[in-house]
Each structure stands twice: as C-alpha cells, then as structure tokens.
C-alpha cells in the first residue's frame, strides 16, 4: 500500500507531504484545483517519462518520493531479478534535474525506467476512463477469467514449459536450416575434400619440391660449374690442391727448422684437409648429377597441383591448406550425424508439445467452468449500477495454436439493452457504461486475487443518484482487502471514504500553489455540503452532508 507521498518543486506544487492509510481514501477538489497534477506526479513514481517543463522552479531539482508497504506483495523474487535491495518499506524516488536529466531510485539504488515501470505495475493501478479501454483487450479479459478459475500456478508452469518448447523448437529450426545448407553444399564440399585428400598434403613438401625443381631444371649449368670447380681444385700444374701441396711441403721443412712456423704449418695442413674433402664432395656431386626429364616433369606436375590448390582455397601455404582440409572433414562428418541429432530433437519437441497440450486443456476446462460464475457476478453488479439489461456472452474456443497463456481464443461480447445484439465491448458499450463494467470487473477481481493499490480517477463521470451510491459501496467493499483511492465529484461517493483529502489552489505571495490536506470530520461535512449545494451552503445541504457521512 502507499504509505506516503512527497512532492517538491513540481508544476504548481512547491512542497507537499501527505501520509495515507489502508481502506478507502477520497480525493475531491474543484475542477482545475490540481488533482491532475497530483496524478502526474504519482505517475512519475510509476515510471512515466519526465518533462523538464514540469519544474516549478527550473533552477532547482524536482523530487517526488513515495513510501510503500510491500510486505504482502510477494515481490522478493522481482527485487532479486532486478538486482535491488528488498525492504518491506520500499522507497521510490524520482528526480528531475535543472539540466533536464531524470533519475530514478528504489531503496536508494539507481534503476532504469523500465524496471520502475515493471515495479509500478505491481504497486498502483491508476484507473481513468482512458484506462477503461484495457477491458476490451484479450489479455486483460483472460486475466479476469483466470483469476476466477484459479489458474495462476498452472499458467506459471505452462509459460515455463512454453519457454522450453520455444528453445527446443529454435534449436530444431537451426538444425533444419543447417541441414538444408549442408545438403546444398554437401556435393561441393565432398568434391573439395576428396581433391585435398587425393593430394596427400605434407606440410614441408612444397619447399623440397621447389628446390628439386630448380636443380633438375638447371642440371647442365650446375654440372658445368661443378666441373669447372673440380678442375680448379685438381689441375696438375695450376690446381689449388697441387699448389697447396707444394705450400704444405715448404712449411713442413720450415717447421722442422724452427717451431716459429708450426702454427702456419698446422693452418695450411687443415686447409689442405678441408679442400681435399671439398674436392671429394664435388666429385661425388658430379658423379650423381644427371639430367632426368621424366622426374622434372613429375616435380613440375606436382608443383602445379599444389599451387592450384593454394590459389583455389586462398591459402598462404600448405599448413593453411591442411587446416582447410581438416575443416572440410569436420563439416562432412557433421553431415553424417545431423539426421540423428534432428531425430532426437524432434522427439524432445514432441514431448514438450504433449505437456503443453495437457496443461492447456486443463486451463481451458477451468476457464470454461469459471465463465458462468463471472457472467452471473458481472450481470448482477451491473444491474445494481443502473444497467438492468446488461448481458454478457463469453465464448471460449480451444485451438491448435500455442499462445502465451494457453491455446484458447476468447470472445467477450456484450449487450446493454434488452433484445439487443451481442457485440464486442468497445462497440456495444458507451464510455460511461465501460467505466461501470470496469468497476464491476475490478470488484470481482478483488475477491479472487491480491490487487495492488487502485486509484479511480473520476470513474463516476456521468452517473448520479442511487447508481453513484452503489458505486461508492462497491469501492468501499473493495477497500476491505486493498487500498483504494477515488477522485470524485459526487458527494454520495465522497461520504463513503474512511479518509478524505482535498486538493485546492492557494495564492501565496502572488504565486499560485496546489495544496493537499486531510480533512477532519467537521471539514468533511463542509466539503460534502459544498459538493451538494455549492459555496453558499444551505442548512439542508449541511444536514444532507451529515446524513451521508452517517
């Protein structure tokens, strides 16, 4: 319930603080007195977007704060989901800064407007003639029937199962789409894979083949250069080995004469041994080097295959090409297992479907059983509200479609006059009739589910006399199980309240301000008497006011 409301620097309100109690609270005031400003301020607490132009003084911030007792609202899971600190006495605060920015807080934790709106829906239901249109909405009509049917727990389970069903169906759709794509690509992927498998790719092969190709392709030139090198080393007169042999002989003799030449002798001897080994290696290379046109053709063909594959797949080297081959292997293996996976997923989806069918059937049966009771209650209460010929035809059809609340389609038809045709509510009822129908529905709902605080904003427009008296009794009856506010111009309704607040304007230092005060018993007599007879109250108006209050 709403415990208190504070508004600072909003529209015509400079500083307002008021406390509220459970039961039925009446709010009255002259037209233009500021009741709409009060509602607009409260709407900000419920997540409505802020408007900088609403600041009374745009040099300081506007603060609107409300305290709620949410002990019996079963909101702990909501607070946990929204990552908010739970407190039985929850404080919601909105701030509009001079910069135009707006901030929202729940128990001093900053929140997004979306979270505030979700919380607000669970705390206060502001009902005006505009909100009356929600009764023509299917979702709201289902809410009413399900309240009477006691479907809350079953609907919760149905929605959980439906979410799981949708997840599985999405997974199956993804698999089927993959299969369709795979089928299109399968032949091509298989061709590419076989091509790569037949190539017998080896990571370092390309480098080795390129070296072999260069050797085979230049064999005559290589042979010529090796032969020349061998001749340089082995010429009998001018060859390097012959001249180095003479040099070695000279230094052998010098080393025998003096140890000063030993180092040079050892270096010459080592060079002789190294060059002798080079000579042997050059001779070996010459001996094994020969032209091989057939092998050259094979190497060239192999290089052509590998380079074409690199170009075809856009690979930089054989390592990347091998990676592409392995990816194709994986794709093709997935294709083989895909049908089994799809069959398992289809079986899982079928089980979910059976569960949903069973739950939706039970929900349907409970709704069907509740409809006569709802119809009877609404028609009875509307008769008391001056609509003696009001009749409902509520049609519930079980379909094959899975909706968010079952498999039913609902047709809520209404006739206001005897012998009249049944039509959709929005076509069959006037604005005033819709207001009375909504009041009747709210009353029925309050007997079955825990409703949030409700505020009726001039729902009694267009009615008077005994009907307004009955409206007041209905709201009073609702207030026994919930907190009810009603903004009214009718004295018959105003007299029903446990508490009475008056909204009025007052000029202070030539500045108009909106005020809200709680009336005591004597002040209520005066206010109701003025509602009956105007500012100039007669003794009969005062007597009538006292009679209404008693």
Tell me the per-residue pLDDT of 396-421, one tens digit each, with 9 for 90 and over: 999 999 999 999 999 989 998 888 88
DSSP string, 368-427: HHHHHHHHHHHHHHHHHTT-TT-EEEEEEEEEEEEETTEEEEEEEEEE-STTPPPEEHHH
Q: Are 329 and 195 in contact (CB under 8 A)?
A: no
Percent of the chain beyond pLDDT 70? 97
Q: Are 509 and 6 in contact (CB under 8 A)?
A: no
Q: What is the 3-state secondary structure (H, E, C) of 266-318?
A: HHHHHHHHHHHHHHHHHHHHHHHCCCCHHHHHHHHHHHHHHHHHHHHHCCCCH
Q: What is the pLDDT of residue 7?
A: 92
Lowest mean per-residue pLDDT among 152-161, 212-221, 345-354, 483-492: 212-221
- Whether the per-residue pLDDT at 114 is higher than 60: the answer is yes
How do residues 193-220 score in pLDDT, each as one tens digit?
888 888 888 888 888 888 877 777 777 7
The candidate with the shortest Cα–Cα distance to 439, out of 401, 384, 389, 400, is 384
- For the segment 37-52, the average pLDDT, to the nearest whole number, is 85
Report how far residue 463's alpha carbon sits from residue 440's, in angstroms, rounded to the nearest whole number: 15
Of the pLDDT bands very low, low, confident and very high (cuts 50, 70, 90), residue 335 is low
Of the pLDDT bands very low, low, confident and very high (cuts 50, 70, 90), residue 336 is low
- For the segment 479-488, the average pLDDT, to the nearest whole number, is 92
Of the pLDDT bands very low, low, confident and very high (cuts 50, 70, 90), residue 334 is low
Percent of the chain beyond pLDDT 90? 37
- Higher-confidence residue: 147 or 30? 147
How do residues 467-478 score in pLDDT, each as one tens digit?
888 999 999 999
- For the segment 476-503, the average pLDDT, to the nearest whole number, is 92
Q: What is the pLDDT of residue 87?
A: 92
Lowest mean per-residue pLDDT among 214-228, 293-307, 536-550: 214-228
- Whether the per-residue pLDDT at 395 is higher than 70: the answer is yes
- Higher-confidence residue: 33 or 418? 418
Q: What is the pLDDT of residue 237?
A: 67
Q: What's the chain's average pLDDT?
A: 87
CATH architecture of 1-123+452-519: 3-Layer(aba) Sandwich (3.40)
- Whether the per-residue pLDDT at 353 is higher than 80: the answer is yes
Domain coordinates in residue numbering, the chain: 1-123+452-519, 181-335
Q: How far apart are the first and last CA of the chain?
A: 27
- Whether the per-residue pLDDT at 232 is higher than 70: the answer is yes
Q: What is the pLDDT of residue 306?
A: 87
Q: What is the 3-state secondary structure (H, E, C) of 221-254?
A: HHHHHHHHHHHHHHCCCCCHHHHHHHHHHHHHHH
Q: What is the pLDDT of residue 133?
A: 61
Residue 177, H or E segment: helix 152-198
What six digits make up the tokens of 77? 């899971």
- For the segment 262-280, the average pLDDT, to the nearest whole number, is 86
What six digits make up the tokens of 524? 């209520």
- Whether the per-residue pLDDT at 137 is higher than 90: the answer is no
The listed range with the strongest mean pLDDT (6-15, 18-27, 135-144, 430-439) is: 18-27
- For the segment 104-128, the average pLDDT, to the nearest whole number, is 90
Query: 6: which DSSP letter?
Result: E
Query: 55: which DSSP letter?
Result: B
- For the segment 225-251, the average pLDDT, to the nearest whole number, is 77
Widest Cα–Cα separation across the chain:
158
- For the segment 215-244, the average pLDDT, to the nearest whole number, is 76
């Amino acid at each position: 319930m709403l415990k208190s409301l504070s508004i600072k620097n909003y529209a015509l309100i400079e500083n307002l603080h008021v406390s509220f109690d459970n039961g039925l609270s009446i709010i009255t005031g002259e037209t233009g007195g500021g009741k709409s400003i009060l509602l607009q301020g409260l709407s900000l607490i419920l997540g409505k977007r802020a408007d900088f132009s609403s600041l009374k003084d745009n040099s300081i911030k506007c603060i609107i704060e409300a305290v709620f007792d949410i002990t019996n609202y079963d909101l702990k899971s909501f607070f946990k989901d929204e990552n908010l600190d739970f407190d039985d006495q929850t404080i919601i605060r909105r701030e509009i800064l001079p910069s135009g920015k707006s901030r929202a807080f729940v128990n001093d934790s900053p929140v997004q407007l979306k979270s505030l709106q979700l919380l607000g829906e669970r705390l206060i239901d502001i009902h005006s003639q505009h909100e009356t249109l929600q009764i023509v909405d299917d979702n709201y009509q289902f809410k009413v029937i399900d309240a009477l049917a006691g479907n809350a727990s079953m609907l919760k389970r149905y929605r959980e199962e439906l979410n799981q069903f949708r997840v599985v169906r999405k997974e199956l759709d993804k698999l089927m789409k993959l299969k369709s794509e795979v089928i299109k690509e399968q032949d091509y992927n298989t061709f590419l894979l076989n091509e790569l498998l037949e190539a017998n790719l080896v990571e370092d092969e390309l480098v080795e083949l390129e070296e072999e190709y260069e050797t085979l392709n230049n064999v005559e030139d290589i042979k010529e250069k090796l032969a020349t090198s061998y001749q340089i080393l082995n010429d009998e007169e001018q060859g390097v080995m012959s001249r180095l042999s003479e040099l070695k002989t000279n230094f052998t003799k010098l080393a025998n004469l003096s140890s000063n030449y030993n180092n040079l002798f050892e270096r010459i001897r080592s060079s002789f041994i190294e060059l002798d080994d080079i000579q042997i290696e050059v001779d070996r290379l010459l001996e094994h080097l020969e032209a091989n046109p057939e092998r050259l053709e094979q190497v060239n063909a192999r290089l052509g295959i590998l380079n074409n594959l690199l170009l075809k797949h856009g690979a930089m080297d054989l390592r990347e090409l091998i990676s592409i081959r392995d990816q194709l292997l994986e794709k093709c293996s997935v294709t083989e297992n895909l049908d089994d996976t799809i069959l398992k997923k289809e079986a899982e989806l079928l089980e979910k479907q059976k569960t949903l069918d069973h739950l939706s059937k039970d929900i349907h049966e409970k709704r069907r059983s509740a409809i006569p009771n709802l119809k009877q209650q609404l028609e009875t209460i509307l008769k008391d509200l001056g609509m003696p010929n009001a009749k409902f035809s509520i049609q519930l059809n079980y379909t094959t479609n899975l909706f968010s609340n079952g498999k039913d389609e609902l047709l809520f038809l209404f006739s206001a006059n005897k012998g009249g045709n049944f039509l959709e509510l929005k076509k069959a009822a006037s604005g005033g009739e819709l207001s009375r129908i909504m009041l009747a529905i709210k009353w029925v709902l309050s007997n079955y589910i825990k409703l949030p605080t409700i505020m009726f904003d001039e729902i009694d427009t267009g009615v008077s006399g005994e009907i307004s008296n009955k409206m007041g009794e209905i709201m009073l009856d609702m207030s026994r199980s919930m907190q009810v506010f009603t903004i009214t111009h009718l004295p018959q309704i105003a007299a029903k309240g446990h508490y009475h607040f008056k909204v009025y304007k007052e000029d202070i230092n030539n500045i108009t301000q909106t005020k809200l005060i709680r009336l005591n018993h004597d002040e209520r007599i005066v206010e109701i008497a003025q509602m009956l007879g105007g500012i100039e109250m007669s003794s009969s108006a005062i007597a009538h006011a006292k009679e209404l209050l008693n």
